[in-house]
Amino acid sequence: MEALEAIKSVKSVSKYKPDPIPEQKVQAVMNAARFANSADNLQPWKFIVVSDEDTKRKLAGACTNAKHMADAPLVVVACARLDDAVAMIGGYMNSYPLDLGIALANVTVAATSEGLGTSWIFTFNEEKVKSFLKIPADARVVGLTPLGIPEAYAPPAGRKHISEILSYNTYD
């Protein structure tokens, strides 16, 4: 699948088939994260792939509107290693939200190109997630996603017209 085709094909999955995912596909998807750009190429990420049923249930319970997470074969937890991120970009923020966002986009597109699906969850109790997965204090949980073969998709979300999001030379 070509990159633009994969980007346009990404859909949020609402239900996953229980089928196991071949390890080569997991590696291909997660390897895509390695190739994401990051500030100063510091690559401040760590990804935890969870297959344990009890842990997946606990993670789903620590998230808002994520009950489908426990039924997916895998859950990917994206973490930022704060010491590896650029402390200040643009004069007002740490680089890790952008760095991880780029890596997560790569994961999403790679999953789609491998015939898999994701559904990124960004509303969660970070302390619970960190506790369940033994994530150290100097790391932040940025997002979680089930990963598996799609069985059903969330209703399609509308997209703004290009004219609403693009301008040339000035903001307006």
Give me the residue spans of the domains in the chain: 15-125+133-150
SS3 content of the chain, % helix, strand, coil (to 5): 40, 25, 35
d(CA 134, CA 116): 27
Whether the pLDDT of residue 86 is over 90: the answer is no
d(CA 169, CA 33): 32
Whether the pLDDT of residue 129 is over 70: the answer is yes
The strand pairing partners of 12, in sequence order, are 118
d(CA 11, CA 166): 23
Is pLDDT larger for residue 12 or for residue 59? Answer: 59
Cβ contacts of residue 110 below 8 Å, gap of 6+?
6, 28, 29, 31, 32
Q: Give the number of other Cβ atoms within 10 Å of residue 63's Cβ.
A: 20
Whether the pLDDT of residue 137 is over 90: the answer is yes
Q: Which fold has domain 15-125+133-150?
A: NADH Oxidase (3.40.109)
d(CA 97, CA 80): 8
Cβ pair 29, 105 in contact under 8 A: no
Backbone angles phi, psi at 46, to 5 degrees: -145, 130
- Tally the C-alpha atoms within 13 A of residue 36's C-alpha that lie toward its C-beta: 28
SS3 165: helix
Q: How far apart are the first and last CA of the chain?
A: 35
* Mean pLDDT confidence for 123-142: 97
**42 alpha carbon, distance to own chain's centre:** 18
The confidence band for 1, taking pLDDT boundaries of 50, 70 and 90, is low
Q: Is the pTM of this model over 0.75?
A: yes
